[in-house]
Structure 1
């Protein structure tokens, strides 16, 4: 075997996605200048935790980090999957940060993946575990992922800054995905949602539900928002509350919006320490705000919301060598970065066509034809 040639990249942006694409394309990468100019240079705790997670689900994967953490060598191995794995995600990012890449890798693993992730289940930065359950997993079914063995259970909730949450994820394996022609977003037929509260009064949830319903019921009758109050060991270690809303359309699309309110982690930056002293947003305002955010997402059009654009493009690029066509609203910065990374690693280019009549964008691509070679054909 000759010496592996490393693909050279710089900077810390989209590190997680670059590593996932490197693993899927079996491309060794060398990433330099990771936050080299910042006060705290190098990899952040959640990025190191993500690398450890990659090692856990892969065989023969090599990770080398220099002393300052500003240079990373990653040589992907075979994604093995595996049963009853456990990973502590730490407290610098929520479990949502780890779920998206894990889901994509799990589909192309050698064996089905079942894993328990521990940490923060809901925070304002990453999609909440509720959104993954109500929106992300159903989205996979459009690409031919079987519902059997696709599951996400919330064992206990954990708000920032102390976490204490736990979720159980199981992902089936596929031979290959199915190309999609998914351009009809349909009309919204119902709204579903869930509010959660940990270590605060249950009244917080009722207030959020009442406030959100007050807006939705002016528009459609079928609105149902569940409450999920946890106490004792299931409530994690910090007080917090939040809401996750999903609009289901007549054509089977799910558009979501979510947020969580809790005290911030004091150590990240000086700004956050000032925030700590502020009062938390009242539950009524949270309900109203998220209802409006969801309506904004629906107004943009498209078959997924702006949070899910990156994942949608990635799944299209991993499809067989067939044309996939999807419609999204305004391209999000994360969506644009994803398109660049896909071109970089998989060589898949998207044709992007604005549709002025609806203000949406139609994207077409021919998939890279990724097949799960390690899976036995039954």
Structure 2
């Protein structure tokens, strides 16, 4: 539902897009109230991982005010000032670390102090992007806006599979006074495939079988394929057994597409064959390449955010077909910042209408940045 404005507070209903609303509230400084959170469910109110997210936002800000109703079905959130700095946080094992890491990635450049966050929990989850995917496909997008990677780093210290987790990552992000405008309409051709297969508390042969299956698909298209294995042992293997794969396609214009797949969670009863896992991940990567665009489809929304907050100049980027999550995020950007994007379907004049319909349609996103300034970052 669209927001209702009451006494300069944006009021939403329902639990959908909870994370988007907290993120944009924190960046814009606008207070929000979210009502009727799962009010008709048998277990109403906020989930544990959503409360955990609020705690994380409280750690990276100063002066944030949160009010919860007794039933947890209503929350009032008045953001404080972004401070960043050293943050240690144990993430809820109901969601992957990626659920929280994406928020820190979006906030990092605008903190008062460079962000140095240590997150513990599940590194690979079916519900969220993995830390490998963020490292491979999201960090290069941020580099387009800040140009210099002085201190931008994501390190996987330990991996942790669901349901118990046990993983740990360290994320470091430099601060910027402002983000540069972006012109990004070409993404080139895929020149190489890289990947990593991890095996946690299972036989190392599992990883090798995944590698062979994935390579069997990708070598049909490109010869430069290399997949590393990360056979974790002891405390580095987390608390639950599992294995998975992350594949990355790099293009000639430094665009990175990523796909991933993992075994079913321990205790679910189903058995995942390593060969099936490798083939599924390779096919997902081919789908992502087919969608095209200058960024991986999972990170269209964060690209839109940085374009909207950039300097007061025109930013333009061509992406693959917009995801539903991105479409809703664009609506929220309008409500919080008043930014509107111009969206045009990119058509190839040499293709017929019938051929166009059979292809994955790219979208040109254009906006004028609001000139968002990190007032804590002084210029020399």
Q: Could you state the TM-score of these two structures normalised by the residue count of structure 1? A: 0.94
Aligned with 2:42 (options 25, 39, 42): 39
Q: Quick one: distance in 2 between partners of 1:64 and 1:145? A: 39
In the TM superposition, what are the counterparts of 1:325-364 in structure 2 within 5 Å? 325-357=316-348, 359-364=361-366
Partner of 1:163: 165
Partner of 2:27: 24
Partner of 2:308: 317
User: How far does residue 360 in structure 1 lie from its aligned partner after superposition?
Assistant: 1.0
User: How far does residue 319 in structure 1 lie from its aligned partner after superposition?
Assistant: 0.9
In the TM superposition, what are the counterparts of 1:240-319 in structure 2 within 5 Å? 240-263=242-265, 276-277=268-269, 279-319=270-310
* Residues 67-99 of structure 1, C-alpha deviations (whole Å, 9 max, x = no match): 11110110011000012x210002110000001
Partner of 1:10: 13
Q: Quick one: distance in 1 between partners of 2:264 and 2:118? A: 23
* Residues 154-209 of structure 1, C-alpha deviations (whole Å, 9 max, x = no match): 11110000101011111110111111111101100001111111000111111111
User: How far does residue 218 in structure 1 lie from its aligned partner after superposition?
Assistant: 1.1
Aligned with 1:51 (options 36, 51, 54): 54
In the TM superposition, what are the counterparts of 1:142-161 in structure 2 within 5 Å? 142-161=144-163
Partner of 2:84: 81
User: How far does residue 280 in structure 1 lie from its aligned partner after superposition?
Assistant: 2.7
Q: Quick one: distance in 2 between partners of 1:295 and 1:4? A: 49
Q: Quick one: distance in 2 between partners of 1:171 and 1:88? A: 19
User: How far does residue 217 in structure 1 lie from its aligned partner after superposition?
Assistant: 0.8
* Residues 45-68 of structure 1, C-alpha deviations (whole Å, 9 max, x = no match): 111000000000100011111111
SS in 2 for 1:190: strand
Q: Quick one: distance in 2 between partners of 1:259 and 1:148? A: 31
Partner of 1:270: none
For structure 2, the 5+ residue unaligned runs are: 1-5, 349-358
Alpha-carbon contact 2:68-2:75 (below 8 Å) kept: yes
Q: Mean alpha-carbon deviation: is it higher for 164-173 or for 310-319?
A: 310-319
Q: Quick one: distance in 1 between partners of 2:376 and 2:150? A: 20
Alpha-carbon contact 2:34-2:74 (below 8 Å) kept: yes
SS in 2 for 1:142: helix
Q: Quick one: distance in 1 between partners of 2:67 and 2:366? A: 37
* Residues 103-146 of structure 1, C-alpha deviations (whole Å, 9 max, x = no match): 11111000001011000001122111111111111111111253
Alpha-carbon contact 2:200-2:243 (below 8 Å) kept: yes
* Residues 201-244 of structure 1, C-alpha deviations (whole Å, 9 max, x = no match): 11111111111111111111111111111111011100011111
In the TM superposition, what are the counterparts of 1:209-224 in structure 2 within 5 Å? 209-224=211-226
Alpha-carbon contact 1:146-1:172 (below 8 Å) kept: no
Partner of 1:109: 111
SS in 2 for 1:228: strand
Q: Quick one: distance in 2 between partners of 1:177 and 1:280? A: 46
Partner of 1:172: 174
User: How far does residue 376 in structure 1 lie from its aligned partner after superposition?
Assistant: 2.2
SS in 2 for 1:376: coil
Alpha-carbon contact 1:135-1:255 (below 8 Å) kept: yes
Q: Quick one: distance in 1 between partners of 2:73 and 2:135? A: 35
Alpha-carbon contact 2:137-2:296 (below 8 Å) kept: no
Aligned with 1:60 (options 36, 59, 63): 63
User: How far does residue 4 in structure 1 lie from its aligned partner after superposition?
Assistant: 7.3
Q: Quick one: distance in 2 between partners of 1:82 and 1:301? A: 36
Q: Could you state the TM-score of these two structures normalised by the residue count of structure 2? A: 0.93
Alpha-carbon contact 1:58-1:80 (below 8 Å) kept: yes
Alpha-carbon contact 1:355-1:362 (below 8 Å) kept: yes
Partner of 2:98: 96
Q: Quick one: distance in 1 between partners of 2:159 and 2:281? A: 20
Partner of 1:133: 135
Aligned with 2:227 (options 225, 228, 247): 225
